[in-house]
Structure 1
């Protein structure tokens, strides 16, 4: 819905009272509106002198809304302003609506309501803090050397930029020349100019699995700003990314870019943002996007010798200056090659520089050495370092290059190398000491070490593996990693969804998964491991490990259900469904169709969801599998319920219930009763709903299935609030208990739903102030989960009737 003049005037007035917001809003408008011919015709001229002038604000709002009808970019920016504006609870409170008397055993703790007798409205404030500020840039090594002229050139490009859109710079150069280090160093020095976040993504231009998909990076960026539910389609993701970043000042580094098209999709919507794309190719196609270009060259001889000396010690270089210059010449001035050679020498204090230079020359051959450059120079340094590794470390070097994972950890290395975790940690440390792995910042949730290959080093390690390991050994190493992810995700699922039926798991070798302290730790691991888990799914599919593919997707259900990353949910199930069909395992096909259909209807793709459930129903009836038939009927009911076709939904839920009762599937029957209760409530039959929901709640607690039992409790609370029953104290108590239970399960989505239900209950009994507070609290959660739900809540708040006496 387009923003009206009145709505935009209110947003502008709100922003004008907050200098930081006002700067962001006016910068965005200036970028989106046509440039004025002169100062006299500049509609934003009063912004600096009289920002709160109501006449100026209304005229500006009228101009912007009129222009937005013909300018999609401006319309998108205005939509973003609506999304950024807080709800009423962030304004100064009105004391007339802050008086509540809570008697008996009642208490209020956060958003948990334990209700005895309640008089007045229970006032809730949003618990969400400020928008997350991602700090994702890579660290820079302490031995960073020279590059003064390059840093000054980048500063000049930034200083000369006109803020008509994001500043886009392409930094290009040969592999190993230090593009990532240079750009990371430069952007870190500019952090105060981009206070709303600094983001990093490796686009994988030369990764063995091919470039990273734009949707994967967009999802990573969107979630970094606290939005959990990412749209499934790339175009929608890109639009949401531009909306979220409109008016922000952010810096984005896109590493290992391979094409202009790959970069273009990831550009933010903020005129004051900075995007740096680093890649080997020149990326000239970005010229149409207004990009500036900087070509990074190799280090000159003196800088390369200085870098080498910082790594091995200046004394050793001073004793052999000629040999040092010969060695860095063999490294072709590439920092990566210099660092690899220096790490090799640092590990051998008695080796001379001349000896190392001689070994590198012998490795490449004198004729080749005289014409050495680029990747050949890196290969020469890598071969010499690799030759001197202990056998176990050399084996780890080879095997760790095989799984297409961006980041390596101890457990992953243990699986790939088939060694105990302590041994894997030691091997990773040894490879980092040899400068064959980059040591990254520790993992945030666990503090565990993290490492990664430079793409040239990975290529060399993979070539060593192909040369020295059989195809069977290479395949087993990659499969062990995928099986470790399957085993660990299955262990997480067992903690998070103990009542769910576990299907077969086909391991070729014994696997030791991670041990989780509790369900919260399991969910955190799934959440932070989305990228590697999806890489494991794609790896399994790429190797045609069909059973392993769908089983891994099946193990990720708690991630999909609790955190609702719709893009990953749908992609994983499309991959899993194809694999299950190829595996010839009907139970896998059935599971992928039904859990994938759930993802589709939750993402709003109702027609495709119904197609999936129809296929599952046909398959189940053909196989006389009554349990699978009931599951398909239940899923069809859910899709029709969300489409507003309540009679069809009720009929399907009732048929599923009869089947589930007949086969003794107690949990399934309880879920069908829950859904029948929801439909009864939606069609004005609160007494029938109360009976169904109370039975569903009791049966789910007996399973036990605390997550779905909390869902039944929430709907039961709303049934008591219905005018046909009108028991608001009981409704408040039940909803408060449901909220507490969802906090225990970690489901933010259902916390938002229950808070919205509490708002509806307050509105039912005529307490607009309490309703507004609860809607605001719900909105604070939906804002980080689902933009569509957030928009719906804002509309509900705007339409909320004012209480008596309030202007």
Structure 2
């Protein structure tokens, strides 16, 4: 919304909803976004973590970072590494510095925790690239790291963005994430110096401990300057015991602030005595943070201490109130209060609405306490309760997004009574995407605990996430674990489901031979079980994979077998989807199939069937292909009309991959029939949509644009590439 006061003379251009206040004079042009145009862009990402009120001093470090930023030959430095020991305040310093520079980066500020010292292992470059590209409105994300990196550098080449890579483990984690161009800034924080990045042009800043004056200021902010002055001797001893580590000082301040009548000497004595250490986290002489953690933990109420212990043992990078409620079997409101207590004690960080995380040091301390104080049966129950919650919530998301695929059973040891965190499909998909790494961790944990049914059921519930958002690595890893669980549990129906869903993932990721192998295993299992419907799906999958590899003869044989099998058991939808693939092959290589049926016949029959079984999405795909087949056969106007009708459907559905695919077919049809202006427009729009998901397809459209004249006066039929250069079906090869 624009609020306008008096405007005198001149002219102005205003876009979006507008409210006038006062008098307006001059030429005013108001523009509303065309509802039929492209969707509204995502807001500019501002992902930096908030800076604690305890942030103190560091003027020298901030000045040094400013000096590094402007020391490059062209006035900018693309990569700065800030290193130092754990707990020294690297994250807070860089967050503060980049926050102050926000106006210099109008295209966004991105943040990722690379989990360099997480028990679950460091984040992969693919995971981080997917997060960043989606934040900038780019998706679906390519399958391979090389293509992801190329897309990321292309997207950021002209953007003024800052990127914060927190908790980096190695130089190898950073290199695939380097941005394109030199108008942005990337800052990595790490406990290691990452000297290997010097070869990539990185500049380095080593962050040291707080000096005594800065530490005293931090303590004063936490407990009050008067208390520090009145207990100056003990305050100085406490600062010395904390070793200049901001984390230790924050924790000590939290304890003192919660006990205003307790002398500071009591905390000093508890820190000085019994120097128990977390052996794996001893940082040379700066071990006082461990004592501070012990001291903070010792004064927690029993129920908050129990939550602290249990959260660290769960497969969750971030925590929300429902996870806390599940882990401790308490009502949601009580869980929220317990999390607030941990936040107040500076033992967990509040990083967003209902989103909390441990600092790496604190998580390890909490996990140690959990292993020492929680009986094995209590640890197992907490984990199972949380995994049951994951399963119930993911299953509810599946009901919203793909109810037709929800066919296998769900079993719960601890029935879930907590309210669902979403109430509509977009919220369901957002929840799945936001929790995808924790959900995969839950799959692994369930398998390691021997809960085989839970493991494969979680994988099955994640189908909408994999199918719609194409997280290829997660898709494949989850199904490998799910398949092992189904086989170990001797559940043949679950095994076939894992094989089919996993094979689709291999096909979508371009690993055709792996897809053929998995579908072949599925076919053998289906035949052994006498399940004709699953047999048809496996045959369809094998045929589609052969088609993807260009082996049309083998593809046609398997697809016809799938049709015969499905029609024999009364599953017309599956037969229709196989006919679409046969039609695509007939369109790409007319007369190559042994039955000689023209492509349009396949698509027309498939569309009638899909409309009859109430599958409008796939019916629109069949319509698009039918329109292209008619245009190829010479009926350009009729075919173009069908393509435009299909395009309107996919625009309404928000199906970006199919919008691009239909625009490409429409552009090729126009170019074939000397409709130069339409061809140029369609290729340009397809290029822009493909750029969000596939650089190679976008480049193909750019090549076509180079040969497609924009004006009819110059028109000669564009030399369109052969139809077999068109991309494979973005919906995947099997109906599942």
Report the TM-score when normalising by structure 2.
0.83
159-168 vs 701-710, greater mean Cα deviation: 159-168
Match for residue 738 of structure 1 among 646, 657, 660: 646
> Does residue 666 in structure 1 map to residue 572 in structure 2?
yes
Match for residue 425 of structure 2 among 509, 512, 519: 519
Q: Deviations over 1:725-752 (max 9, x none)?
A: x2735x4554444334434544321222
Q: Cα 1:517–1:727, aligned 2, differ >3 Å: closer, same or farther?
A: farther
Tell me how far apart the structure 1 counterparts of residues 424 and 605 of structure 2 sit (CA, whole Å): 29
> Does residue 767 in structure 1 map to residue 684 in structure 2?
no
Tell me how far apart the structure 1 counterparts of residues 276 and 560 of structure 2 sit (CA, whole Å): 79
Q: Cα 1:166–1:248, aligned 2, differ >3 Å: closer, same or farther?
A: farther
Residue 276 (structure 1) shift: 2.5
- The residue number in structure 1 matching 2:80 is 169
Tell me how far apart the structure 1 counterparts of residues 145 and 483 of structure 2 sit (CA, whole Å): 21
Equivalences for 1:144-183 in 2 at 5 Å? 144-162=55-73, 167-183=78-94
3-state SS of paired residue (1:805): helix
Q: Cα 1:581–1:165, aligned 2, differ >3 Å: closer, same or farther?
A: farther
- The residue number in structure 1 matching 2:267 is 356
- The residue number in structure 2 matching 1:275 is 186
8 Å contact from structure 2 (residues 675, 712) kept in 1: no
Residue 378 (structure 1) shift: 1.6
Residue 692 (structure 1) shift: 4.1
8 Å contact from structure 2 (residues 667, 678) kept in 1: yes
Residue 247 (structure 1) shift: 4.8
Match for residue 696 of structure 1 among 581, 606, 622: 606
8 Å contact from structure 2 (residues 168, 190) kept in 1: yes
Tell me how far apart the structure 2 counterparts of residues 362 and 212 of structure 1 sit (CA, whole Å): 38
Tell me how far apart the structure 1 counterparts of residues 303 and 484 of structure 2 sit (CA, whole Å): 38
Equivalences for 1:70-469 in 2 at 5 Å? 110-111=35-36, 127=38, 133-162=44-73, 167-362=78-273, 364=275, 376-442=287-353, 449-469=354-374
Tell me how far apart the structure 1 counterparts of residues 653 and 390 of structure 2 sit (CA, whole Å): 23
Match for residue 785 of structure 1 among 678, 687, 693: 693
- The residue number in structure 1 matching 2:19 is none
Q: Cα 1:133–1:531, aligned 2, differ >3 Å: closer, same or farther?
A: farther
8 Å contact from structure 2 (residues 85, 283) kept in 1: no
Q: Deviations over 1:345-374 (max 9, x none)?
A: 2233433433433443456489x9xx9976
Tell me how far apart the structure 1 counterparts of residues 434 and 662 of structure 2 sit (CA, whole Å): 26
- The residue number in structure 2 matching 1:798 is 706
> Does residue 510 in structure 1 map to residue 415 in structure 2?
yes
- The residue number in structure 2 matching 1:76 is none
Residue 139 (structure 1) shift: 1.9
3-state SS of paired residue (2:177): coil
Tell me the matched-pair count: 675
> Does residue 617 in structure 1 map to residue 617 in structure 2?
no
Q: Cα 1:720–1:635, aligned 2, differ >3 Å: closer, same or farther?
A: same
8 Å contact from structure 1 (residues 229, 566) kept in 2: no
8 Å contact from structure 1 (residues 232, 570) kept in 2: no
Tell me how far apart the structure 2 counterparts of residues 727 and 292 of structure 1 sit (CA, whole Å): 60
Residue 801 (structure 1) shift: 4.6
Residue 250 (structure 1) shift: 3.6
- The residue number in structure 2 matching 1:589 is 495
Q: Cα 1:583–1:243, aligned 2, differ >3 Å: closer, same or farther?
A: farther
Q: Deviations over 1:387-412 (max 9, x none)?
A: 22222111111111112422211222
8 Å contact from structure 2 (residues 401, 429) kept in 1: yes
8 Å contact from structure 1 (residues 676, 692) kept in 2: yes
Match for residue 646 of structure 1 among 549, 552, 558: 552
Residue 589 (structure 1) shift: 2.8
Residue 339 (structure 1) shift: 0.9
Residue 171 (structure 1) shift: 1.9
Tell me how far apart the structure 1 counterparts of residues 386 and 621 of structure 2 sit (CA, whole Å): 36
Q: Deviations over 1:126-151 (max 9, x none)?
A: x2667985432222123310111111
Q: Cα 1:766–1:687, aligned 2, differ >3 Å: closer, same or farther?
A: farther
8 Å contact from structure 1 (residues 230, 567) kept in 2: no
Q: Deviations over 1:153-187 (max 9, x none)?
A: 22223333345996433322221111111111122
- The residue number in structure 1 matching 2:20 is none
Tell me how far apart the structure 1 counterparts of residues 658 and 569 of structure 2 sit (CA, whole Å): 30
Tell me how far apart the structure 1 counterparts of residues 373 and 238 of structure 2 sit (CA, whole Å): 28
8 Å contact from structure 2 (residues 142, 693) kept in 1: no
Q: Deviations over 1:3-55 (max 9, x none)?
A: xxxxxxxxxxxxxxxxxxxxxxxxxxxxxxxxxxxxxxxxxxxxxxxxxxxxx
Residue 452 (structure 1) shift: 0.8
Q: Cα 1:136–1:587, aligned 2, differ >3 Å: closer, same or farther?
A: same
- The residue number in structure 1 matching 2:24 is none
Tell me how far apart the structure 2 counterparts of residues 630 and 109 of structure 1 sit (CA, whole Å): 45
Tell me how far apart the structure 2 counterparts of residues 165 and 637 of structure 1 sit (CA, whole Å): 53
Residue 279 (structure 1) shift: 1.9
Match for residue 479 of structure 2 among 560, 565, 573: 573
Report the TM-score when normalising by structure 1.
0.77
Tell me how far apart the structure 1 counterparts of residues 330 and 652 of structure 2 sit (CA, whole Å): 37
Equivalences for 1:632-643 in 2 at 5 Å? 632-643=538-549
Tell me how far apart the structure 1 counterparts of residues 365 and 234 of structure 2 sit (CA, whole Å): 26
Q: Cα 1:267–1:543, aligned 2, differ >3 Å: closer, same or farther?
A: farther
Tell me how far apart the structure 2 counterparts of residues 696 and 109 of structure 1 sit (CA, whole Å): 34
Residue 630 (structure 1) shift: 0.9
Residue 631 (structure 1) shift: 0.8
Tell me how far apart the structure 2 counterparts of residues 694 and 144 of structure 1 sit (CA, whole Å): 67
8 Å contact from structure 1 (residues 680, 688) kept in 2: yes
- The residue number in structure 2 matching 1:709 is 619
Residue 528 (structure 1) shift: 3.4
8 Å contact from structure 2 (residues 126, 148) kept in 1: yes
Q: Cα 1:789–1:693, aligned 2, differ >3 Å: closer, same or farther?
A: same
3-state SS of paired residue (2:287): helix
Structure 2, unaligned stretches of length 5 or more? 1-32, 716-736
> Does residue 483 in structure 1 map to residue 391 in structure 2?
no
Q: Deviations over 1:405-425 (max 9, x none)?
A: 222112222222222322222
Tell me how far apart the structure 1 counterparts of residues 708 and 62 of structure 2 sit (CA, whole Å): 54
Q: Cα 1:374–1:653, aligned 2, differ >3 Å: closer, same or farther?
A: farther
Tell me how far apart the structure 2 counterparts of residues 158 and 340 of structure 1 sit (CA, whole Å): 32
Tell me how far apart the structure 2 counterparts of residues 585 and 415 of structure 1 sit (CA, whole Å): 28
3-state SS of paired residue (1:231): coil
- The residue number in structure 2 matching 1:728 is 637
Q: Which has the higher contact order (CA 8 A, sep 6+)?
A: 1
3-state SS of paired residue (1:256): strand
649-658 vs 151-160, greater mean Cα deviation: 151-160
Q: What is the RMSD of the two structures over their aligned residues, measured on CA atoms?
A: 3.2
8 Å contact from structure 2 (residues 71, 77) kept in 1: no
8 Å contact from structure 2 (residues 680, 710) kept in 1: no
Tell me how far apart the structure 1 counterparts of residues 343 and 529 of structure 2 sit (CA, whole Å): 54
